Each structure stands twice: as structure tokens, then as C-alpha cells.
Amino acid sequence: MGVGIQSSRTTSSDRIRKWFSGAPVRIAVIVIALLWTLPTAGLLVSSLRPANDIKTTSWWSALAHPFEEAQWTLENYEQVLTSDGMGNAFLNSLIVTIPAVVIPITIAAFAAYAFAWLEFPGRSVLFVIVVGLMVVPLQMSLIPLLRLYTTIDLNGTFLGVWLAHTGFGLPLAIFLLFGYIATLPAEIIESAHVDGASALTTFTRLVLPLSVPVIASFAIFQFLWVWNDLLVALVFLGTRADVAVVTSRLSALVGERGEAWHVLTAGAFITMLVPLIVFFALQRYFVRGLTAGSVKG
Amino acid sequence: MEASAPSPQQPQRSNWATLVAGPLRVAVALIVPVVTFLLLRWSFQFMRDADANKLLVAIVALVIGVGAVWLLYVASDALVSLLPDSIRESVRPFVFVGPALAILGVYLVYPLVLTIWLSFFDARSETFIGLDNYFSVFTSDDMLLALRNNVLWIVFVTSAVVGFGLVIAVMVDRIGRWEPFAKSTIFLPMAISAVGASVIWKFIYSFQPVQLPQIGLFNAIYTALGGDPQGWLIIKPWNNFFLMFIMVWILTGFAMVVLSAAIKGVPGELLEAARMDGASEVRIFFGIIIPSIRTTLITIATTVLIMVLKVFDIVFVMTSGQHETEVIANRMFREMFTFRNFGRSSALAVILLLAVVPVMIYNVRSFQESRK
């Protein structure tokens, strides 16, 4: 028993010593974490202050007396959502993003299954091409597609931008899904076949349900990619109010209302809202998806 | 790629079957994309004429974009089942893989070839001018500036992101239960769009005349230290670095999360043994941790490098390339829309492509090796 007390005492004093020796590191990390949050916090605080206050006093001075009700307002959000067109842009972003996530996943899943479990001539070569296309900068596609879209009258349409995001997202989607689907146990797939299941049934009943984790990771990656994208939206949708998405609307606001910080801060926060919710709700998938998807062209 | 496919016994194929299979494969590959496209297009035109509201458009889009795509796969699979035994199973895989190949062809392969081709033509793609576009890229002053800035971005942002990411990953590993929280806050900017991040930082860099209180964090600190307020975004060439900070802020968390996972994978016995031998923490870091995570470090560095190479949004929003902050991707955009010079714009895209070719080769090689 004495031995027990003795050893437990050393561990606890060890722990205390460890805690103190770890203190500088801990403080450093806290400082870094605060520094990293500060820019976003400043934006959020500012977006809730009256237009005139933002222009004349700093946002951190408002934090000195946080309970003065007169210094907080939701007016900026009201204005930016209505008269500055952010509400409409938010809707457009949803319209662009959801099909631009679902369509490539469907098409990629079928293709990944074929690459992994069906035999056809040219299979290896075609897959190597897919791997190569993954890092091709999408800038390479802009001019030819813009011309193609002009001739078939697809510029400035949601359809055009969905298909563009589908095309640009496919190589990565196929690659990720293939990596997962190819490692499913061969016995399961074979036994389905022995039972007389067709390729299509095997795919829909067996492969697809088993691939939910990888599909979720890719879906989150693609969702954020499309939602946060500016370039593809500018090129294929443009900045016309009826089709502009949140990013292109916000970037237009920066040009139109350069110093109107009450509009810009509220507008920026609206563009960030959905990604932040996704981030906090699905953090694990989010990190996995981003890590896997970071090689995209 | 040698996954054992559970395909049934291939029936003996006659000559005509081989002849017919090719066109059938192409036809089957095109059914899904072409019919979906026409369906969507037709319903959109219909809704535009009928002046339908946005929500309806979105719902129709989803129903067709998801439902119709799915049904078409099923339908073309059923169609293939009607084919004679001799060719059925050699056509079927193309029901699955064909649509993806068709879309990749239209959206990536065909544009890739055409862009390279167009880069040898003049502004309006009418006259062949050989390498003139490339000569002008490497001789004109403002193009050279864009190239210089891109090199600066690549060197500075990549090393800062990997460096900070690594240091923070090592530190975060030692703070116990606060680790997930610290990681989240540093990773968070990765969720924000570059446009949103640019607005955040534009506010930080904002500038007020001397007598007024500064509302931008940078000028507030700078004036508190006794300086005069500065327009940070117009000080050449340092404004480039103020733009780069934004990307470092966005990407550090990403590098940190990936590197932290790699560091946790370093075997504990190895570290214990080194500590027993009296090795200092610094020596352990350089002698054991760095070599063990070398591959991850290289992957992260290349990934960040590719992202930085194509930087567009930040420059477009912050300065649109003014005050000597131009970069290749932004210049390419301006050549395309402002100057309407498709030749030079294509040449710039090709330069971006050439820069990633080594990564492409590396990816293909390592993929092929992993398959052996």
C-alpha cells in the first residue's frame, strides 16, 4: 500500500511539473488561436454595428461596453440582403451549388464502379488519364468552353455552370470514389454476382450503400468548393443580378461600395454563413474531404 | 487496376460483333449526358418562357439533374440487356463509365487541346502567329511583373504555410485536451471563401486620415506605435506580401491538420528511446520527426504550391492587379474579358499547365506504383 501511495505521489507531482513545463507552449498556442480568430471576429462584430459607428470608431472600442444596446443593430443585414441583392444571390448560390454537387457524384459513382469492378478495353489507360486530369488548372478550359457556350447559348445560365462544375469536379470524384470502391472485398461483389445480380443491381444495392463515407467526404468538399468559387461563377454566370452568386455579388460590392463597411462586413458574413455551419456540424468529414480533395485543378 | 472483375464468361465473339461493339459503346456513353442535357435545356426554356419563380427552377433542376440522370442510367442498362448475347457484356461497362468519359472529353480534354492550339494564334484566333504570344509574355514588362509576383507568392506562401503549419502542429500536439479546439480555430479560415477572406483583410488594412481614429487593425497598431497611417495595399512591392498574408491565413490550418496527423503516426517507442538516450527535443524534432513525416511534408508543399500557383480571387478582390500586384491567373482573366486577347490569355493558361506537369507525372507514377 505504501508503495502505491508513493508511486501515485510521484505521478501527480510529475504531472504538475509537466503542466508547468508545458505552459509556454500552451500559452503560445492560445495566442496563435486568438490571432487566427481575430480577423473573423472583427468582421462579425463590425457587421452588427451601425454604419456610422463602423466608419468613425474601431470595432474593438465597441467591445469595451458591450451592453449598450444602441451600438448593436441588424440593419446592415437587412440592407445588404434586400437593396444590395445579397438575399437573391444567396438563393442563386443554393441553386448553383446543390445540383453541382449531386450530378458529379452520381456520374462519378457509376464510373468509379466500372473502373474498379468491370472489365473493358482501355480501362487502365483511361484511368491514368483521369488521374492526370485531376491537377489540370481549370483555367485551361475557360476560353474553349466560353466559346462553346456562346454558340449553343448557354452563357449566363445555371445549366451551364452546373455542367462546368460537374466537368471540373469529375476527375477528383472518380479518383476518390475509385480508391474506396476498389478496396471493397471481392467476395461480396462476387457472391452478389453468383446470386444472379446484374451489374446495375450490384452497384445500386451493394456498392453505393457501402460507399456512403467517401461520398459524404467528397460531397462536403465539392459543396464548399462550388459555394466558395468565384472564377467559374464570374466566367460562366456573370454578375447580372438575377443569376449572380454570393461570391460574385460580394466581389461586385467591394467595387461598387468600396468604403461602405457596414454593407461589406454584413455581406461577407452572409457568404460565410453556410460554410461555417457545414464546418462546425460536419468537421470530421470536412477535414477528410478537404485533405483528400486538395489536389483538385 | 487488376481487380478481378466478376464478369461472366465472355461469349465467343464473331467478327461483326467486334465491328458493332465500338459504335454501340459510343452510343451508350452518349445517351445519359445528351438526353439529360436536352431535357434540362428544354425544361429551362419552357420555364423561362413561363416566367417561373426561382424555387420552382431549383426544384425542377434537382429532379431532372438527379432523378433523370439516374433513370437514364437504368434505361440505357436495360437497352443494353436487349442486345444479342455476343456483344451485350462487352458494351455494358460503357453504360457505367461512358457518361463520365464523355463529360471529361467535353469539359477537360477538348478544351485542353484547343487552348494549346489557340495560344499560337492572334487575339481573335484568326491568324497563326507561332510563339509570339509566349514571346510577349516573357518580354513585356507587366507580364514579367505577373510572373515575378507568382514566383514570390509560390516561394513565400508555400514556405510560410508549411513552416507555420509544422510548428503549430508540433505545439498543438502537446497541449492535451485543448488540442481539438485550437485546431478548429486555426483551421476555420479554410471554410471561408477567398472573397470573404479578402473582405475581412481589406477591413484590417483599411486606412483613415491622420486625425481620425483608425478602424483597421493594422493602422491602429501602427499609429499606436507612433507611425503615420499607411495605405498598405498601395505600398509597392510590400503590398504583395499583404495579399499573401491572406492566403497564409487561409491555408496554415490545412497544413497543420495534415501534418499533425502525420506527427501522431510517428512511433512512440522511437521517441521514448531517443529521450532515454538523452537526445534534446530539438534533436528529436530534426532527427526523428522530420524524417518520418517527409512524404507528408512533400505532399503538403506540392498541394499548397498548386493552389498558390492559380491564385486569383484574392488579387481580383483586393487590388484587381493594380499597384503592381498582378499574378498570372488574374492577368489571364483580364486578357480574356478586358482586352479580349484570346491568344495571350491561352498562352498564360498553358504556362499554368506546364507548371503542374511535373506534379501530374508524379501523381500518375505513384498511382501506378500503388496498383502493383
Question: Do A34 and A103 sit in the same domain of this protein?
Answer: no
Q: Is B206 on the interface with A (CB under 8 A)?
A: yes
Q: Which residues in A lie closer than 8 A to residue B189 (C-beta atoms)?
A: 36, 39-40
Domain boundary among A15, A49, A74: A74
Please count the other Cβ atoms lying within 10 Å of the Cβ belonging to residue B148: 15
Helices (H) and strands (E) counted in chain A, each on its own, are 16, 0
Rounded CA-CA distance B243/B108 in Å is 30
Nearest to A125 by CA among B364, B99, B372, B356: B364
CB pairs under 8 A between A and B: 352
Indicate the SS3 state at residue B229. coil
B40 touches A159 (CB < 8 A)? yes
The string of pLDDT tens digits covering residues A76-133 is 999 999 988 899 899 899 889 988 999 999 999 999 999 999 999 899 999 999 999 9
* Nearest CB to A39; choose among B194, B249, B345: B249
Please count the other Cβ atoms lying within 10 Å of the Cβ belonging to residue A72: 15
Q: Which cell is A6 given?
A: 508513493
Contact call for B363 and A182, based on CB within 8 A: no
B253 touches B186 (CB < 8 A)? yes
**Helix orientation angle between A139-151 and B110-118, rounded to the nearest 10 degrees:** 100
Q: Is B174 on the interface with A (CB under 8 A)?
A: yes
Rounded CA-CA distance A89/A97 in Å is 12
Rounded CA-CA distance B78/A147 in Å is 36
- The count of domains in chain A is 2
Contact call for B199 and A265, based on CB within 8 A: yes
Q: What is the dihedral of CA A137, A140, A143, A147, to 10 degrees?
A: -110
The answer to which of A6-15, B207-216, B327-336, B338-347 has the lowest mean pLDDT is A6-15
Question: Do A8 and A131 sit in the same domain of this protein?
Answer: no
Nearest to B103 by CA among A42, A164, A243, A183: A164
Nearest to A228 by CA among B194, B137, B267: B194
* Nearest CB to A57; choose among B94, B114, B213: B213
In this model, does residue B3 exceed pLDDT 50? no
Tell me the mean pLDDT in the region A212-233.
Answer: 92
Long-range contacts of B123-131, Cβ-Cβ distance < 8 Å, separation of 24 or more: B123/B339, B123/B340, B123/B341, B123/B342, B123/B343, B123/B344, B124/B340, B124/B342, B125/B342, B125/B343, B129/B343
The answer to which of B139-143, B209-213, B310-314 has the lowest mean pLDDT is B209-213
Nearest to B96 by CA among A181, A12, A158: A181
Rounded CA-CA distance B175/A26 in Å is 6
Spatial CB neighbours of A214, under 8 Å, sequence gap ≥ 6: A176, A177, A179, A180, A181
Where along chain B do the CATH 1.10.3720.10 domains lie? Answer: 134-370
In this model, does residue A274 exceed pLDDT 60? yes
Rounded CA-CA distance A219/A99 in Å is 11
Exposure string for A15-40, b = 16+ CB within 10 A, e = fewer: eeeeeeeeeeebeebeebbeebbebb
B200 touches A268 (CB < 8 A)? yes
In this model, does residue B22 exceed pLDDT 90? no
Nearest to B241 by CA among B318, B185, B328: B318
Instruction: Determine the straight-line distance between the first and last CA of chain A, rounded to whole angstroms.
Output: 65
Rounded CA-CA distance B66/A48 in Å is 39
CA of A33 vs chain B CAs: smallest distance (Å): 6
Closest A-chain CA to B334: A235
Q: Which residues in B lie closer than 8 A to residue A267 (C-beta atoms)?
A: 199
3-state secondary structure A93-150: HHHHHHHHHHHHHHHHHHHHHHHHHCCCCCHHHHHHHHHHHCCCCCHHHHHHHHHHHH
Question: Do A162 and A38 sit in the same domain of this protein?
Answer: no
Q: In CATH, what number does B134-370 get? A: 1.10.3720.10
The string of pLDDT tens digits covering residues B254-299 is 999 889 988 888 888 888 888 888 888 888 888 889 999 998 898 8
In this model, does residue B6 exceed pLDDT 50? no
Nearest to A36 by CA among B264, B262, B245, B341: B245
Q: Name the CA radius of gyration of chain A, rounded.
A: 26
Q: What is the pTM of this model?
A: 0.89
- Looking at residue A12, what is its pLDDT? 62
Q: Which cell is A242 given?
A: 438575377
B205 touches B245 (CB < 8 A)? no
The answer to which of A32-36, A170-174, B60-64, B178-182 has the lowest mean pLDDT is B60-64
Question: Do A88 and A154 sit in the same domain of this protein?
Answer: yes
Question: Do A86 and A60 sit in the same domain of this protein?
Answer: no
- Looking at residue A202, what is its pLDDT? 92
Domain boundary among A74, A100, A119: A74
Tell me the mean pLDDT in the region B235-241.
Answer: 93
- Looking at residue A278, what is its pLDDT? 87
Percentage of chain B lying above the pLDDT 70 cut: 94
Interface test with A, best of B195, B282, B371 (most A CBs within 10 A): B195
Contacts with A, B 210-239, CB within 8 Å:
212-215, 217, 220
Domain boundary among A25, A58, A74: A74
Rounded CA-CA distance B343/B134 in Å is 9
Indicate the SS3 state at residue A297. coil
Rounded CA-CA distance B135/B130 in Å is 10
Domain hosting A12: range is: 2-74
